[in-house]
């Protein structure tokens, strides 16, 4: 692959807190980076070109590309002032649950899970997961997501769909352990076997995690065994933590500890861990997450919709915790759209804190890109830098929401919509061009997913 993108506004800013940048001020931390940085404005943008060779970015610079790159390129796309951005990272979802979109509306988490979701999910077949995950992956490509992190069962079908869609994915067989010992054993075996198969699949496009569902759905002995398995496989742990107040109370009654303290006492955080939600935390728990290097998936829309609350993201970021943005499943969102999470997060914390300075556009955008990738323990993904993976999106900014061109990144954070996305590239391969998804059969997916959902109703 040799693709040259020219005539574009390319965003080369991002979170530069790693590896040597710890302790930098915000301007330095989220300003321009990489070898194009010296040539970029303070706002992190250049007007120029980006060159992709095989799966990686081979050059990114302002101005016209040198003649030798033009000569070498197999394709030259003149983008006419469109925006080139790193692809968005969805740090937490359950892709097959798109089939349950719009079902069980308006119920709080416990009743929603136990009375609306679990009975319907019990009727899921291979076909449900097959079409549900394709529906989600189609929506993610159309809305500029290039990497997603999924926790569910029948994950071999999700893996197969990732092979087809071309998306980058981190996958884990989600384990709910409220079952007899033999069922628990079988699930654990499946989780381990799946991780072995998935990790490194499709030329390294897929990574695996070990995914115990939550401290309240996985009995202690099973949770400990899952962490041991993660240790053996050298994989991170992906777990829901402290989503609701009620969950925290029940954990305290049962263990005498709050969920983060409990997981720490069990030794879970000896593994690299992604804690999902982290809504109800004590100050001591926030310190503990920072001290253990635990990453957090912030899912503002899902948490708002289920009435769970709002995670203290500014408080976590101030402690140096790496935070990404997740949609959660489509039944509780109802989109698989990281632009929506980005806009929501950027507004929400200003309102909660009564501080307009909180989560400025460069920091908010980092949550959706580079920090999101770091939350999933992915290197060289989430920013447009020479030598990094060519995971990027193109936005058409020729519409009212981007005029005047005062602060382009603010326009992206507050105004961008999935419909603005024209191209999506992962690993140097276009998954969508001029809004046409190339890897999935969109029409067929919409039809089959609708039919499969009728059966579950």
Q: Which residues bind Zn ion (CB under 5 A)?
A: 328
Q: Is the Cβ of residue 15 or residue 328 nearer to Zn ion in the bound state?
A: 328
Compute the distance between CA of residue 239 and CA of residue 230 in angstroms, rounded to an integer.
12
The structure tokens 């892709």 sit at 95
Residue closest to Zn ion, measured at CB: 328
**Could you give the CA distance from residue 413 to residue 150 in angstroms, rounded to a whole number?**
24
Nearer of residues 86 and 324 to Zn ion, judged by Cβ: 324
Nearer to Zn ion, 166 or 372 (CB): 372
Instruction: Please state the closest distance from residue 155 (CB atom) to Zn ion, in A.
Output: 14
C-alpha dihedral sign at 429, 83, 325, 112: negative
Smallest gap from Cβ 209 to Zn ion, in A, equals 13
Cβ atoms within 10 Å of 400's Cβ, excluding its own: 6
Query: Of the two residues 51 and 152, which places its CB atom closer to Zn ion in the complex?
Result: 152
Helix (H) or strand (E) run with residue 410 in it: helix 408-415
Angle separating helix axes 181-198 and 155-165, nearest 10 degrees? 20
Question: Which of 328, 427 has the CB closer to Zn ion?
Answer: 328
DSSP state of 418: G
What is the closest distance, in whole angstroms, from the C-beta atom of residue 136 to Zn ion in the complex?
A: 13
Q: What angle do CA 211, 124, 328 make, to 5 degrees?
A: 45
Residues 6+ apart with CB under 8 A from 23: none
Enter the tokens of residue 52: 């992709």
Q: Least Å distance between CB 97 and Zn ion?
A: 9
Please report, for residues 29, 107, 117, the alpha-carbon distance to residue 111 in angstroms, rounded to integers and kept in the order given. Answer: 43, 6, 9
Ramachandran quadrant class, 438 (left: phi over 0; alpha: psi -120 to 50; beta: rest): alpha
Q: How far is the CB of 178 from Zn ion (least distance, A)?
A: 16
Tokens of 355: 């501080």
CB nearer to Zn ion: give 285 or 328: 328
110 vs 455, which CB is nearer to Zn ion? 110
Which of 16/91 has CB closer to Zn ion? 91
| Residue 265 CB, nearest approach to Zn ion (Å) | 23
88-93 vs 45-53, strand pairing mode? unpaired
CB of 401 to Zn ion, least distance (A): 31
Rounded least distance, CB 76 to Zn ion, Å: 42
Stretch (H or E) spanning 388:
none
- Pick between residue 88 and residue 408 the one whose CB is nearest to Zn ion: 88
Smallest CA-to-CA distance from 381 within 40, 46, 146, 54 is with: 146
In eight-state DSSP terms, residue 314 is H
Give min distance, CB of 153 to Zn ion, in A. 13
235-248 in b/e form (b: 16+ CB < 10 A) is bbbbbbbbbbeebb
Q: How far apart are CA 162 and CA 287, in angstroms?
A: 36
């Amino acid at each position: 692959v040799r693709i040259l993108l020219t005539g574009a506004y390319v965003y080369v800013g991002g979170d530069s807190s790693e590896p040597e940048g710890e302790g930098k001020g915000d301007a330095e931390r989220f300003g321009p980076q990489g070898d194009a940085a010296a040539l970029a404005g303070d706002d992190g943008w250049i007007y120029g070109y980006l060159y992709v060779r095989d799966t990686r970015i081979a050059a990114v610079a302002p101005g016209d590309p040198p003649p030798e790159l033009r000569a070498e390129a197999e394709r030259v796309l003149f983008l006419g002032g469109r925006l080139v951005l790193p692809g968005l990272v969805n740090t937490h979802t359950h892709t097959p649950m798109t089939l349950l979109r719009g079902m069980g509306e308006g119920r709080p988490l416990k009743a929603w899970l136990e009375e609306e979701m679990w009975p319907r999910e019990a009727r899921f077949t291979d076909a449900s997961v097959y079409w549900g995950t394709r529906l989600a992956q189609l929506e993610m490509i159309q809305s500029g997501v290039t990497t997603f992190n999924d926790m569910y069962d029948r994950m071999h079908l999700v893996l197969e769909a990732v092979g087809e869609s071309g998306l980058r994915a981190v996958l884990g067989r989600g384990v709910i352990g409220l079952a007899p010992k033999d069922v628990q054993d079988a699930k654990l075996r499946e989780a381990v076997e799946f991780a072995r198969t998935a990790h490194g699949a499709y030329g390294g496009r897929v990574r695996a995690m070990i995914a115990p569902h939550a401290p309240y759905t996985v009995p202690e002995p099973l949770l400990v065994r899952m962490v041991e398995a993660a240790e053996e496989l050298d994989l991170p742990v992906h777990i829901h933590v402290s989503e609701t107040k009620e969950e925290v109370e029940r954990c305290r009654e049962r263990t005498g500890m709050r969920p983060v303290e409990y997981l720490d006492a069990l030794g879970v955080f000896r593994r690299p861990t992604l804690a999902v939600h982290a809504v109800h935390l004590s100050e001591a728990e926030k310190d503990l997450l920072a001290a253990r290097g635990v990453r957090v998936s912030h899912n503002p829309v899902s948490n708002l919709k289920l009435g769970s609350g709002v995670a203290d993201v500014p408080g976590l970021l101030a402690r140096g915790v790496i935070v990404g943005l997740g949609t959660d499943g489509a039944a509780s969102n109802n989109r698989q759209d990281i632009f929506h999470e980005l806009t929501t997060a950027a507004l929400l914390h200003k309102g909660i804190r009564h501080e307009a300075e909180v989560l400025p556009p460069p920091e908010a955008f980092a949550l959706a890109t580079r920090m999101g990738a770091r939350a999933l323990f992915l290197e060289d993904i989430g920013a447009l830098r020479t030598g990094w993976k060519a995971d990027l999106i193109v936005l058409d900014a020729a519409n009212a929401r981007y005029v005047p061109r005062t602060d382009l990144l603010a326009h992206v954070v507050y105004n961008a919509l999935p419909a603005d996305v024209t191209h999506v590239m992962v690993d140097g391969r276009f998954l969508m061009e001029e809004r046409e998804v190339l890897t999935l059969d969109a029409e067929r997916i919409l039809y089959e997913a609708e039919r499969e959902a009728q059966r579950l109703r």
